[in-house]
Chains A and B, each alone.
Chain A
Amino acid sequence: MYGFPLQPEQASTLSVEMDYLYYFLTALTIFFAGLIFATVFYFAIKYRRRDKDEVPPQYEGNLKLELTWTIIPSLICVLIFVWSAHVFMRASTPPPSATEIFVVGKQWMWKVQHPEGPREINTLHVPVHEPIKLTMTSEDVIHDFGVPAFRMKRDVVPGMYSTEWFEATKTGEFHLFCDQFCGMGHSHMVGTIVVLSHEDYARWLASQLNAKPMSVTGERLFGQLGCNECHTPEGKPGVPPLQGLYGTDVKLQNGKTVTADDAYLRESILGPEAIVGYPPNMPTYQGQMNEEEVLQLIAYIKSFGPPGERKATKQ
């Protein structure tokens, strides 16, 4: 049948690192459980009650022993903590060079957008040996994008962007699970990660004929939603210029400074009165567009280029 595997496939750079920690913890568990079991059984047999009225000698505890079995486990815990924090830090920090792909969870499917345009449902095609960063949000309840073969998992929370990253080390198809209970169809919210060689991936991208880059779709939305009436390339008084905005520092009304990143842009679009240091002239777009469209708009705003290069892209 399916054999009897004890371990999921190792298909990402992180999976190897995480498994070493797992092996160590497993060995530790077996050692200490074995130690306790062996001692308990040994004492239970050696000191079994031999006489109905037997009363053993009494003695108090032993401070040295108590300290020993407090300090040794504590030191082991410190070791595990440092090691595991290190692995977690790696798992939580996408490399700057990572390719970004966007994921929107909704009851009960995964919707994926590649910046180049292709969109997928419950499937994600990625090239092997390339760091991929997923920027994720949810349309409704909390989901969780987990891929056991990559030892990767992160909650997908409505109202915010969460990120996770991986670098696949082998080609093939791997399970994608929703790991956070999300209602009736939770166990059907599964999919496949398809890891392709670079050539196959290029071929796959080219085969997605109708796909337009996210920024282009975003530009169309920019017109449809009437954003361009105020946010003109020349700029209007009281309206923040979008050209070169992405990645810059923005001063808020409360005096704090934030970086204009994806989360900032999303919040500015959906609930502008909440955050920006400009007069609250802009209507809220909450409820008028879905999360995928928000991501497309952000892609368009990003395409204006980094700060300093004030140009509006056209193609």
Chain B
Amino acid sequence: MSAVAVEVEAPTMPEVHYLNADYGWRSWLFTTDHKRIAWLYLFAITGFFAVGGLMATLMRLNLVEPTGALMEPASYNKLFTAHGLIMIFFFLAPSIPTVLGNFLIPIMIGARDVAFPKLNLLSWYIFMLAGSVFMFSVIRGGVDTGWTLYTPLSTTYANGNVLSAAVGIFISGFSSILTGLNFMVTIHKMRAPRMTWFRLPLFIWALYATSVIFVLAMPVIAITLALIALERIFHVGIFDPALGGDPILFQHLFWFFGHPEVYILILPSMGVVSELVAAGCRKRVFGYSFVAFSSVSIAAISFMVWGHHMFLTGQSVYAGFVFSALSFAVAIPSAIKVFNWTATMHKASVSYDTPMLYAIGFIGLFTIGGLTGLFLASLGTDVHLHDTYFVVAHFHYVMVGGAIMGYLGGMHLWWPKMTGKLYPEAWARFACLLVFAGFNLTFGPQFILGYLGMPRRYAVYPAEFQVLNVMSSAGASILALGYLIPLIYFTWSAFKGPVAGPNPWGAKGLEWTIPSPPPTNNFDETPVVEEAYAYGPEEAHVG
């Protein structure tokens, strides 16, 4: 096609594109265009991220002093509960799939839209309903059970608004299931001619694996929450031993959902990083099929490791052995990904643009997050580290250092495609650096805190832990600034940014062959795909 002429002409924007094809609030709230729905999600999850982030800030402020600088333990408990639930169910889980996934999946596979555009819009409404119900429970006074909702605390002893919070999460599950179904059908049935599975961008593989987990894991949490409601309202003895139930049963159900959920959060980000590395190196991802299959095997094994959250519950030692071994097994595909991304940089053309900086940041932080997971999969050390700040640090390295770095990197790579505008590169690099530094200062000291024995979810703590806590809180303020700056320059860029042109990065992939912003129908003519990541001399690919 017309790849040759890209560099010569000044970047242009099409007269009519999906953003200005129609006006008025109806054209947005009743849209079935996957690209506009992506924006609806973007606004929603940015709001949730701001609320969850504000809560984290308040928590870190409170922990500056051992006796609690700001609030009573009761309020602190509600804060970390809401922080966890909002960040997991209303920001991280939807972030990459519903924003970047919605925008990119049809374009990357050469389709006009997702398979069920109306269902896609319905998913957003369900998500908003879920979010509203959940926020209602927070405003009414919140929940103080921790995001894990362990029984019998959540069913019998907690006074908070457990039910309304549970209803919110219950509803959000349906949004995720519908999104997952939609993506799976889209990827199966709507690929462009000659786009075989092994010509798919790795982002698609990752989101496919994620969608499978959505569809399989979300029903489990829905059922579990329904059981909590049964016990709380009707006192049916399911989890509370005083009623004849088994509190550990809840943990089995919860983590059977919960651990796959963790991979819902990180897999999409891994998919994004594969794209960032390819675009930032102008190179086909090293070991494509290994990276693709590692996503699938992570999704599969993720359903068999839930017991590693329960080593200390009195579960049999031998069950512990099995879950420990399987947890090590899930580490291997993650390691394979990291090695392959690194190898992609070999003899590449490595750009220092913001998306690649985020990719490098991701590789670094995810490596630490993954390796510290070994301490927790390992039975012997888990006895000491379980439920301490070591766990907090570990999963924030994976979820914030990993998932959010990937999300931000993806937003920077595809922002010009979504808006047709460029963002200020210098500010973006600066913010990326702040995020990286602030993140490490926030969560690095928490590894040491955890090894020293500081339990998680403590509103007050012994004075000897103060120095490390102050460091962590200082880091959090830098991190907050690092997240605020992109919000400002993206907003600026959307209105005043310079025109980006169809392919500002010189990247390959169907999304870079169409104008920025794309037309409502994405493609004027159906594209034909011969290769994924068709970098290299043009002649080699013209078949």
Q: Closest chain B residue to A78 by CB distance? A: B328
B157 contacts A by Cβ under 8 Å: yes
A58 shortest CB reach to chain B, Å: 4
Whether A187 lies near B158 (C-beta < 8 A) is: no
Whether A40 lies near B363 (C-beta < 8 A) is: yes
A88 contacts B by Cβ under 8 Å: yes
B27 contacts A by Cβ under 8 Å: no
Report how far A78 CA is from B242 CA in the complex, Å: 41
Given known contacts A33-B368, A56-B282, A157-B247, A25 and B374 CB-to-CB distance under 8 angstroms: yes
B342 in complex: contacting residue of A39, A83, A157, CB < 8 Å: A39
B136 contacts A by Cβ under 8 Å: no
Chain A interface size range: 35 or more
Whether A153 lies near B290 (C-beta < 8 A) is: no
Interface digits, B142-164 against A, CB 8 Å rule (1 contact, 0 not)?
00111010101100111000000
**Number of A-B residue pairs having CB atoms within 8 Å of each other in the complex:** 284
B23 shortest CB reach to chain A, Å: 37
In the complex, which residues of chain B have a beta carbon less than 8 angstroms from the beta carbon of A40? 342, 345, 360, 363-364
Interface digits, B305-325 against A, CB 8 Å rule (1 contact, 0 not)?
000000111100100110011
In the complex, which residues of chain B have a beta carbon less than 8 angstroms from the beta carbon of A60? 284, 288
Report how far A2 CA is from B463 CA in the complex, Å: 8
In the complex, which residues of chain B have a beta carbon less than 8 angstroms from the beta carbon of A69? 335-336, 339
Whether B321 lies near A85 (C-beta < 8 A) is: yes
In the complex, which residues of chain B have a beta carbon less than 8 angstroms from the beta carbon of A178? 455
In the complex, which residues of chain A have a beta carbon less than 8 angstroms from the beta carbon of B144? 183-184
Whether A177 lies near B453 (C-beta < 8 A) is: yes
Interface digits, B342-367 against A, CB 8 Å rule (1 contact, 0 not)?
11011111111000000010011001
In the complex, which residues of chain B have a beta carbon less than 8 angstroms from the beta carbon of A206? none
Given known contacts A61-B340, A183-B158, A32 and B371 CB-to-CB distance under 8 angstroms: yes
Classify the interface of chain A: helix, strand, loop or mixed: mixed
Classify the interface of chain B: helix, strand, loop or mixed: helix
Whether B455 lies near A8 (C-beta < 8 A) is: no
B186 contacts A by Cβ under 8 Å: no
Interface digits, A176-199 against B, CB 8 Å rule (1 contact, 0 not)?
011111111111101000000000
- Within 42-57 of A, Cβ neighbours of B (below 8 Å) are at 43-44, 47-50, 52-57
A25 in complex: contacting residue of B244, B332, B381, B448, CB < 8 Å: B381
Report how far A73 CA is from B367 CA in the complex, Å: 13
In the complex, which residues of chain A have a beta carbon less than 8 angstroms from the beta carbon of B24? none
Given known contacts A58-B536, A84-B324, A142 and B342 CB-to-CB distance under 8 angstroms: no
Whether B314 lies near A22 (C-beta < 8 A) is: no
Whether B378 lies near A57 (C-beta < 8 A) is: no
A23 shortest CB reach to chain B, Å: 10
Give the segment of A121-129, A143-151, A249-257 that binds chain B: A143-151
Whether A158 lies near B150 (C-beta < 8 A) is: no
Whether B457 lies near A187 (C-beta < 8 A) is: yes
A77 in complex: contacting residue of B248, B331, B386, CB < 8 Å: B331
A29 in complex: contacting residue of B345, B371, B448, CB < 8 Å: B371
Interface centre among A89, A155, A271 (most CB of B within 10 A): A155
Report how far A59 CA is from B347 CA in the complex, Å: 10
A175 contacts B by Cβ under 8 Å: yes
Q: How many residues of B contact A (CB 8 A)?
A: 98
Whether B247 lies near A159 (C-beta < 8 A) is: yes
Whether B380 lies near A86 (C-beta < 8 A) is: yes
Q: Closest chain A residue to B294 by CB distance? A: A70
In the complex, which residues of chain B have a beta carbon less than 8 angstroms from the beta carbon of A142? 150, 152-153, 247, 313
B527 contacts A by Cβ under 8 Å: no
Whether B350 lies near A32 (C-beta < 8 A) is: no
B523 contacts A by Cβ under 8 Å: no
B497 contacts A by Cβ under 8 Å: no
A74 contacts B by Cβ under 8 Å: yes
Report how far A97 CA is from B314 CA in the complex, Å: 21
Given known contacts A47-B348, A142-B153, A22 and B368 CB-to-CB distance under 8 angstroms: no
Report how far A186 CA is from B74 CA in the complex, Å: 10
B60 contacts A by Cβ under 8 Å: no
A271 shortest CB reach to chain B, Å: 8
Whether B381 lies near A182 (C-beta < 8 A) is: no
Report how far A177 CA is from B230 CA in the complex, Å: 32
Report how far A60 CA is from B73 CA in the complex, Å: 56
Whether A47 lies near B466 (C-beta < 8 A) is: no
Whether A89 lies near B317 (C-beta < 8 A) is: yes
In the complex, which residues of chain B have a beta carbon less than 8 angstroms from the beta carbon of A148? 384, 388, 452-453
- Within 242-277 of A, Cβ neighbours of B (below 8 Å) are at 271
Q: Closest chain B residue to A71 by CB distance? A: B332
Report how far A176 CA is from B506 CA in the complex, Å: 59
Whether B388 lies near A179 (C-beta < 8 A) is: yes
Whether B247 lies near A84 (C-beta < 8 A) is: no
Whether A36 lies near B367 (C-beta < 8 A) is: yes
A85 shortest CB reach to chain B, Å: 5
Report how far A175 CA is from B463 CA in the complex, Å: 12
B74 shortest CB reach to chain A, Å: 5
In the complex, which residues of chain B have a beta carbon less than 8 angstroms from the beta carbon of A6? 448, 451-452
B537 contacts A by Cβ under 8 Å: yes
A92 contacts B by Cβ under 8 Å: yes
In the complex, which residues of chain A have a beta carbon less than 8 angstroms from the beta carbon of B288? 60-61
A109 contacts B by Cβ under 8 Å: no
Interface centre among B284, B312, B332, B456 (most CB of A within 10 A): B312
Whether B349 lies near A153 (C-beta < 8 A) is: no
Q: Closest chain B residue to A108 by CB distance? A: B73
Interface centre among A2, A58, A89, A152 (most CB of B within 10 A): A58
A60 shortest CB reach to chain B, Å: 7
A282 contacts B by Cβ under 8 Å: no
B112 contacts A by Cβ under 8 Å: no
Q: Closest chain B residue to A180 by CB distance? A: B387
Interface centre among A57, A65, A154, A181 (most CB of B within 10 A): A181
Report how far A167 CA is from B254 CA in the complex, Å: 35
Whether A47 lies near B350 (C-beta < 8 A) is: yes
Q: Closest chain A residue to B365 by CB distance? A: A33
B196 contacts A by Cβ under 8 Å: no
Report how far A154 CA is from B320 CA in the complex, Å: 13
Q: Closest chain A residue to B240 by CB distance? A: A158
Interface digits, B367-380 against A, CB 8 Å rule (1 contact, 0 not)?
11001101100111
A105 shortest CB reach to chain B, Å: 12
Report how far A143 CA is from B459 CA in the complex, Å: 16
In the complex, which residues of chain A have a beta carbon less than 8 angstroms from the beta carbon of B242? 158-159, 286-287
Q: Closest chain B residue to A86 by CB distance? A: B380
Report how far A152 CA is from B153 CA in the complex, Å: 23
Whether A55 lies near B378 (C-beta < 8 A) is: no
Whether A44 lies near B360 (C-beta < 8 A) is: yes
Report how far A73 CA is from B335 CA in the complex, Å: 8
Whether A43 lies near B345 (C-beta < 8 A) is: yes
Report how far A95 CA is from B65 CA in the complex, Å: 41
Sort A-B residue pairs by CB-CB distance and give the 4 closest, nearest first: A148-B453, A159-B241, A87-B380, A61-B287
Extra contacts besides A49-B282, A56-B535 (8): CB < 8 Å = A37-B364, A49-B352, A54-B282, A58-B540, A66-B287, A77-B329, A84-B378, A158-B247
A-B residue pairs in contact (CB < 8 Å), sample of 19: A4-B467, A25-B381, A29-B372, A40-B364, A43-B345, A47-B281, A56-B281, A66-B290, A69-B335, A88-B380, A140-B152, A141-B157, A149-B453, A155-B312, A158-B247, A179-B387, A184-B74, A187-B455, A187-B459
